[in-house]
Amino acid sequence: MSWALALLALQTVFMVPTPQPRPPGPTPVPGAPSAIVDRIVETPGERTRLSLFSNGVAVVSVRHDGSKPALFKRTLTREVLVGYLVALEESARQIRALHSIPQEPGEAGGTVTIRLHVGPGDPILMRFSTLQMMPLPVGRLGTILDDLQTKVVATPSGYDEVTAWHPREGDEVEMVTGQKARVVEVRHDGTVIVEYENVGLSELVTPAERPQRIRHVLTRTGP
């Protein structure tokens, strides 16, 4: 069974027979998280690594010579994770159908190493130069991974915390504007109404809007 189908099947199992409101976030795959795809790009003076795991966590590490790596992390929502899995599985199918899979880097430019753990059979391992012309399926895979990497690097600080938050009346938050606000109402679908401190204005924030509107959860009234 493919990763995407496994996630959808698990979602169905978890929601039957008594569906309950669920916080945003991917449905976990049983067991310890495993790598779905891993890409390392090494160029003179820089090494960038992108990893996506089965629990929906994506991590980007960027290291420049002589410096500590800069780390970026994002937990994908269930819908976004399934979308990437479908695209990666199609890429894996097309790459396995190629006459040959690139496994040796060229002599010029940087080096790209990709390990793709989706679809039937052994994981796909590719190594090639950043200057090489790649077959179309490999180029499409690169576009998918570039999109994921951009999404992760652009993730606001506190994204995972705010996404996993179970709001309660009285919780205090910091909005992306820097203003403080307090939750005055929590609706059945997770939508919250927050009241700005010292202003008296209220704002409605849906679960999908939380990461774009709320920067941090400052205090909680519950666990």
DSSP per-residue string spanning 143-167: HHHHHHHHHHHTPPTTHHHHHH---
Residues 6+ apart with CB under 8 A from 20: none
Q: Global pTM?
A: 0.68
Tell me, what DSSP letter sits at residue 117?
-
Helix axes 78-96, 136-153, angle to 10 degrees: 160
pLDDT at 25: 44
Residue 219, helix vs strand vs coil: strand
pLDDT at 2: 64
pLDDT at 154: 85
Nearest Cα to 117, choosing from 55, 53, 40, 57?
53
Residue type, 33: P
The pLDDT profile of the chain, 223 residues, written as one tens digit per residue, is 566 555 554 443 333 333 444 444 444 445 678 999 999 999 988 999 999 999 999 999 999 887 888 889 888 888 889 999 999 999 999 999 998 888 887 667 799 999 999 988 889 999 999 888 889 999 999 999 999 999 999 887 777 788 888 999 999 999 988 899 999 999 999 999 999 988 879 999 998 888 888 888 999 987 6
Tell me, what DSSP letter sits at residue 56?
S
Residue entry with tokens 């790598």: 35
Q: Where are the alpha helices (DSSP H) in 166-207?
A: none
pLDDT at 12: 39
pLDDT at 160: 78
